[in-house]
Structure 1
């Protein structure tokens, strides 16, 4: 099979045509990239987890009891965050989280703030990297971390339980 007729080159050709089609049919607005850079800079947050994915959803995992608990994982360089979000009642939820830093201890004085529509709440991250929030109303939220040994803030994208 020649290089030109390989499945890989056929896939590449299809993807190129598809990319050109979308570029012509729905191009990004002029200045979008510059506007986004300015918006992120104005937000005053140095880093945001971009790599987030649903690790497990208990209601899809084949467990015996019905549950809406979800486990999310965020990674940013050497920092990893595992968050379990579960309902507490018909109107509130709970977040249990574990923060780890590769090859390092959690700095003393590390705090996490739950930023939500009904107000911000802050708690201490313990030496094992664990933290929790309960009584969370159903609304978009994000977690913002501050470290005593740095002025850097790190936050998750908005989520809703």
Structure 2
């Protein structure tokens, strides 16, 4: 590559960094995703709703789905930059669930009706991982992983 080509590439790079820079957290987001290995990623849909007509509080309902099950999570504020995740798995079944946060993994489980709760969740990225089970109601052969979600 000659000096003129290097200068042209540097100019193009500078233009793209100015016009369409990568998100500041892109590298962290990619590393967060790559940490899991062989998994099935669920699809997600999100609906926001206010907790009350005159309230500053808000909740967010997120539904994650796969071929085997559906997970609905309601995210509500519990303090400054803190949240509570109330979740339900359908069909209702007791499963081991991990909550992956930016710097920690919390183990939890759903009850026989599929209900689970994670409290004191900090703002930032999170991801749910539902582990394989031999339960005849929902037989999972590999972990189901919700897409990385930001709260």
In the superposition, the TM-score normalised over structure 2's length comes to 0.67
2-structure distance, mates of 1:44, 1:118:
18
Deviation at 1:87, TM superposition (A): 1.0
Consecutive unaligned residues in structure 1, runs of 5 or more: 1-39
Larger-gyration structure (1/2)? 1
Deviation at 1:63, TM superposition (A): 2.7
2-structure distance, mates of 1:141, 1:41:
14
Consecutive unaligned residues in structure 2, runs of 5 or more: 1-32, 135-139
Deviation at 1:131, TM superposition (A): 0.4
Map 1:4-23 to 2 at 5 A: none
Corresponding position: 1:47 with 2:45: no
1:60-97 CA deviation, whole Å, 9 max, x = no partner?
A: x8733222210011111241110001110012111110
Map 1:22-101 to 2 at 5 A: 43-50=36-43, 52-55=44-47, 57-59=48-50, 63-101=53-91
Structure with a larger share of its residues in helix: 1
Q: CA-atom RMSD, angstroms?
A: 2.3
Corresponding position: 1:119 with 2:104: yes
In the superposition, the TM-score normalised over structure 1's length comes to 0.63
